[in-house]
C-alpha cells in the first residue's frame, strides 16, 4: 500500500489503479428487519437515503451488522474569530461534531489559525460531557490568493479513539490536490484537501471540497479526477469526495448526463440524494452538500445508510443522532446542515 506513496514523495507519478471489488451490500437485511421498503442502490448515479423527509434517519443505523463509523461533512459558515468568541456557538458546534466519528469541515476562515484548536482541544476535549478524545487535520490556506480574507482552510475533525491518520514511515498521508501544477489543468478555486485515515480494518481517503458557485458544474464534474488521483497516490480504492458542492439550484443541473459530467458515471455513487435539503434557509430546498464515492470499491463497506443531520429538530427514536439544544437561530451556527453516511469498520478487503 505504501510503495506508491513513497514513489509519489520521490516525484514519480503513480498510474496504477485498483481493480473493482465486490458490490455486496448487506443493508438489505438491515432494512428488511426495520420494515422499510425503499432500499438504497449502490452503483448508480444517486443513492437515495432510506427515509428522506424532515429530520428522519434510519432507526438503529448505528447498530448495523458489525461495528460502524459515521462519516460526515459540514460547511460551518465563516468559521472564524467571531464564532470562536461565542461560547454558545462553539458549544453547539462541538455537540454536533461529537456525534460523527469524522467530519470534513469547510469554510474555516480564521487567518490567525486559532479557531480549530479552540473548538477541538478546548471546547471538545476540555469538556467532561464527551467520552472520546478528538483531534483534527487542517489544510493550508487554500484559494487563488491565500493571504486574502477570501481564502479558506479545510479541516477533518475526528474521534481519535476510533480513527487515526494513515502514515508511511512517519509521514502523514495528506496533500492538497495539485491543481494547475505539473501539467494538471487549473480547475478549482479552492483545491480539494485529501487525507487517508484508518478505522479498524477500514482504510479510506477523504477529499473535501468547497466549490466556487459560479464554476460549480465544472468543478463538480472534475472531482472524478480527484478521486482517481487519490486512488493512484495511496493505492486505495475507498476514496470519498465530500463537502459543499453547490450542486443544485442555478449552480448545477442535477440531471446532467454522464457524457457531460464524469462524476455522474455509474461507477460513482452519490450518497446524498437530490431530494434532500441540506440548507438552513426556508427560501430553498437545495442539495448543496454531497458525499460521493467509487462504488466499485465501497460496496463492501457502505451500510446503505446516509442522510442529513437536522440537528435543531427532534430525531426519530433509535436514530444514531440526537437533537442538539440551541438557544440561537440555526443560521447563527451555519447556513448548512451536516450530511452523513455510515460505513462498516471490519469488512474492507481491498489493499
Catalytic residues: 152, 210
- Alpha carbons 5 and 236: distance in angstroms, whole number: 11
If residue 79 lies in a helix (H) or strand (E), which one and from where to where?
A: strand 68-79
Helix H, strand E, coil C: the string for 302-338 is EEEEEEECCCCCCCCCCCCCCCCCCCCCHHHCCCECC
**H runs (alpha helix) in 154-262:** 216-221, 223-234
- Alpha carbons 251 and 208: distance in angstroms, whole number: 19
Half-sphere exposure of 164 (CA within 13 A, CB side): 9
Residue of 236, 134, 225, 130 lying closest to 185 (CA atoms): 225
Reported for 8-13, long-range contacts at CB under 8 A and 24+ positions apart, including other chains, are 8/233, 9/171, 13/182, 13/232
Cβ atoms of residues 106 and 244 within 8 Å: yes
Cβ atoms of residues 156 and 177 within 8 Å: no
Sheet holding 339-344, edge to edge: 134-138, 153-159, 102-108, 68-79, 339-344, 302-308
Cβ atoms of residues 105 and 74 within 8 Å: yes
Burial class (CB in 10 A: 0-12, 13-18, 19+), 308: buried
Burial class (CB in 10 A: 0-12, 13-18, 19+), 39: middle
Residue 291's SS3 state is strand
- Alpha carbons 268 and 286: distance in angstroms, whole number: 21
Amino acid at each position: 500500500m505504501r510503495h506508491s506513496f513513497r514513489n509519489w514523495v520521490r516525484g514519480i507519478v503513480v498510474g496504477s489503479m485498483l481493480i473493482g471489488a465486490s458490490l455486496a451490500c448487506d443493508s438489505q437485511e438491515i432494512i428488511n428487519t426495520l420494515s422499510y421498503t425503499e432500499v438504497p442502490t449502490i452503483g448508480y448515479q444517486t443513492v437515495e437515503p432510506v427515509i428522506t423527509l424532515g429530520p428522519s434517519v434510519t432507526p438503529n443505523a448505528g447498530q448495523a451488522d458489525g461495528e460502524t463509523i459515521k462519516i460526515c461533512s459540514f460547511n460551518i459558515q465563516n468559521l472564524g474569530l467571531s464564532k470562536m468568541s461565542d461560547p454558545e456557538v462553539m458549544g453547539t458546534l462541538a455537540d454536533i461534531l461529537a456525534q460523527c466519528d469524522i467530519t470534513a469541515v469547510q469554510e474555516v476562515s480564521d487567518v490567525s489559525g486559532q479557531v480549530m484548536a479552540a473548538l477541538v482541544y478546548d471546547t471538545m476535549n476540555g469538556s467532561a460531557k464527551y467520552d472520546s478524545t478528538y483531534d483534527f487535520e487542517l489544510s493550508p490556506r487554500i484559494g487563488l490568493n491565500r493571504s486574502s480574507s477570501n481564502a479558506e482552510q479545510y479541516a477533518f475533525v475526528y474521534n481519535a479513539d476510533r480513527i487515526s491518520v494513515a502514515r508511511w514511515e512517519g509521514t502523514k498521508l495528506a496533500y492538497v490536490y495539485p491543481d494547475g501544477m505539473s501539467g494538471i489543468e487549473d480547475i478549482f478555486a479552492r483545491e480539494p484537501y485529501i487525507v487517508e485515515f484508518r478505522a479498524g480494518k477500514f482504510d479510506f481517503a477523504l477529499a473535501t471540497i468547497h466549490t466556487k458557485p459560479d464554476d460549480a458544474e465544472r468543478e463538480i464534474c472534475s472531482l472524478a479526477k480527484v478521486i482517481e488521483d487519490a486512488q493512484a497516490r495511496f493505492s486505495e480504492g475507498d476514496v470519498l469526495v465530500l463537502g459543499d458542492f453547490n450542486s443544485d439550484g442555478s449552480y448545477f443541473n442535477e440531471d446532467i448526463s454522464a457524457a457531460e459530467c464524469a462524476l455522474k458515471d455509474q461507477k460513482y455513487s452519490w450518497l446524498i440524494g437530490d431530494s434532500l435539503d441540506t440548507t438552513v434557509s426556508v427560501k430553498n430546498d437545495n442539495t448543496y452538500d454531497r458525499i460521493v464515492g467509487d462504488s466499485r470499491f465501497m460496496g463492501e463497506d457502505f451500510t446503505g445508510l446516509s442522510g442529513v443531520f437536522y440537528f435543531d429538530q427532534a430525531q426519530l427514536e433509535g436514530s444514531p443522532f440526537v437533537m442538539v439544544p440551541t438557544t440561537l437561530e440555526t443560521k447563527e451556527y451555519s447556513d448548512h446542515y451536516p450530511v452523513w453516511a455510515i460505513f462498516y469498520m471490519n469488512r474492507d478487503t481491498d489493499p
